[in-house]
Amino acid sequence: MDLPKFKYILLERQGNIFVITLQRPPENRLNSEFCQEIIKAFHTIQRILGPNSEGAVITRGHDAKYWCTGLELEEEDANPFVNSDGFFPMIHTILDFPFPTVALLTGHTFGGASVMALAHDYRVMNASRGFICLPPINLGLHFHGIGTLARLKLGPKIARKMVLEAHKWTGKEALVDGLVDAVALSEDMFGVALEIARKWAPKAKMG
């Protein structure tokens, strides 16, 4: 089956491991169209793999500077429903995906992208560059549910650092605090993510 083409995404596969590369220059900023493409990519993968099969998904950035820098805030001026049109359904799609997901954080992961990363089952972060944080907190910008995944996945103390203090983690710090499952140099990151994906893909058989 040929994989569909997208405007802002490159969808590839290595056997039963699918790779979604985010490529909306320059920072992979999330707008409703981008989010809807991500949803469509996950739905396409689920249809291809089908029930009672093994598989996994890796979501990566297109370069070593940015994974994603969060929401395109200007879009809300024209569309007050932008989050319910794109961002929240995208987060739900990733959380509800029946195969293991790995966020390959190639570079900076800011704002809503931090929530998107937490929606994945596993996270691999660049050991030498890039931060993960919620800068909108320092600007007084909040949206409903911003702290939910952090509290559920990271525990109250680390969630407080993220949601209240807007702490900026390096890869090594994120590994210590449990935000990520592994760190690696840029040239080794994909291999580490692929190893995780292949390890847990057999656990994904749908009943």
CATH label of the domain that carries residue 53? 3.90.226.10
pLDDT at 13: 97
* Phi, psi dihedral angles at 20 (to 5 degrees): -105, 115
Residue 2 lies in a domain: no
What single-letter DSSP state applies at residue 135? G
SS3 94: helix
pLDDT at 205: 64
Helix 112-119 vs helix 88-95: crossing angle, to nearest 10: 20
Q: Where are the alpha helices (DSSP H) in the chain?
A: 32-49, 75-78, 82, 88-95, 112-119, 148-154, 156-163, 171-177, 186-200
Residue 36 lies in a domain: yes
Residue 156 lies in a domain: no
Residue 90 lies in a domain: yes
Determine the residue type at 189.
M
Angle (CA) 123-68-173 rounded to 5° is 45
C-alpha span between 185 and 46 (Å, rounded) = 30
What single-letter DSSP state applies at residue 71? B
Residue 84 lies in a domain: yes
What is the per-residue pLDDT across 92-151, written as a single tens digit (0 to 9) for each?
999 999 999 999 999 999 999 999 999 999 999 999 999 999 998 888 777 666 778 899
Residue 93 lies in a domain: yes
C-alpha span between 68 and 74 (Å, rounded) = 16
Residue span of the structural domain in which 70 resides: 9-134+169-200
How many structural domains comprise the chain?
1
Q: What is the pTM of this model?
A: 0.94
pLDDT < 50 regions, the chain: 207
Residue 56 lies in a domain: yes
